[in-house]
Amino acid sequence: MKKLKYLTVFLCTAGLYGCTPTLDTSSFEAAETSISDIRRSLKEDKQLKFDKIVRFYSLGERYMLCPTCLAREFNTATKEKIQGQALQRISRFDGMSYEEIEKYYDEDYPKFVVKQEQELAKQRKRREEFMNHFDF
């Protein structure tokens, strides 16, 4: 009986027993379902982080840095195109669990924050240069 218990624990930690849901990007519907399954398997604090992770990777860096670009894209693109682009962006995580995806996010997000701060600094500088052309 003890051996069975240890085997079950081992299989769960190895992800072979089905205890840990993984991301399925074979289709948009499969991705939505697997994202919901992963989210349901997490505690509330991890659910919030997972929501941020999904948003971060499904939107893409370009749209996170340029909200105007995102709004323009949403106004002109079809639903299928937007879904296809989101699916393409998250497909690199196909077959991964929350813990595996979280590791990538923990590496990628700080780099993104630096880029975001650099972009904001460029925008402030351009705004100042523009305002300096006028006498206010």
DSSP string covering 75-129? HHS-HHHHHHHHHHHHGGGTT-BHHHHHHHHHHHHHHHHHHHHHHHHHHHHHHHH
Q: What is the pLDDT of residue 12?
A: 54
**pLDDT tens digits, residue range 72-123?**
877 888 889 888 988 999 999 999 999 999 999 999 999 988 988 898 898 8
pTM of the model: 0.71
Strands, DSSP E only, in the chain? none
**pLDDT tens digits, residue range 110-136?**
998 898 889 889 888 988 888 888 765
Element (H or E) spanning 28, and its range? helix 28-40
- Identity at 18, one-letter amino acid code: G
The answer to whether 94 and 28 are in contact (CB under 8 A) is: no
Distance separating alpha carbons of residues 50 and 39, to the nearest angstrom: 7
